[in-house]
């Protein structure tokens, strides 16, 4: 069975650095890459309670998901000799990354961190920190500032 590396990116300015490190790891391991991005889902409480009214978020999520797939497709073309699967989902990034890694039995997860500290870290939380604490496989964290 071939090794697998899940590279989880948020499509921010740090995405390229995370992808480069993840691809480098995958090449060394002769691994297949799962290039993943998660569109953060914001709960529409009124819509959830009513359940009958279509949410305007649905269109927003669809557009964001399509844009992410397109951007990750460009990365896939940049590395024609590396087997890359694109995975884009709508949800909570922390949970989706962990679930995908477990479901696909990946060997490593690669994520980036923005290096936030203090109040910014407390308010925003840390997806990378959560993944490190809850993953059942090794996690490579690419520090970014």
Cα–Cα distance, 94 to 142 (Å, whole number): 16
Does 3.90.190.10 match the CATH number of domain 3-143?
no
What is the per-residue pLDDT for 120? 46
Binning pLDDT at 50, 70 and 90, where does residue 22 land?
A: very high
Percent of the chain topping pLDDT 90: 67
What pLDDT, on a 0 to 100 scale, did the predictor assign at position 132?
Answer: 93
Query: Residue 53 pLDDT > 60, yes or no?
Result: no
With contact defined as beta carbons under 8 Å apart, do 9 and 36 qualify? yes
Helix then strand count (H, E) for the chain reads: 6, 5
CB atoms closer than 10 angstroms to residue 74: 8
What's the pLDDT at 5?
Answer: 98
Cα–Cα–Cα angle for 8, 70, 77, rounded to 5 degrees: 80
Between residues 120 and 26, which one has the greater pLDDT?
Answer: 26
Residue 1 has pLDDT above 80, yes or no: no
Least confident of 19-28, 62-71, 106-115: 106-115
Instruction: Please check the confidence at residue 104 and state whether its pLDDT lies above 50.
Output: yes
Q: Which of 93, 43, 39 is nearest to 63 (CA)?
A: 39
């Amino acid at each position: 069975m071939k090794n697998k590396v899940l590279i989880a990116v948020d499509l921010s300015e740090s995405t390229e650095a995370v992808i480069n490190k993840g691809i480098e790891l995958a090449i060394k391991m002769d691994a297949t890459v799962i290039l993943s991005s998660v569109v953060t889902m914001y709960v529409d409480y009124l819509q959830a309670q009513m359940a009958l009214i279509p949410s305007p978020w649905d269109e927003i999520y669809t557009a964001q998901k399509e844009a992410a797939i397109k951007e990750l497709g460009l990365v896939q073309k940049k590395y024609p000799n590396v087997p890359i699967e694109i995975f884009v989902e709508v949800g909570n990034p922390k949970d989706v990354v962990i679930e995908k890694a477990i479901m696909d039995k990946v060997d490593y997860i690669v994520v980036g961190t923005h290096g936030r500290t203090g109040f910014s870290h407390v308010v925003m939380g840390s997806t990378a920190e959560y993944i490190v604490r809850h993953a059942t496989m090794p996690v490579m964290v690419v520090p970014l500032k």
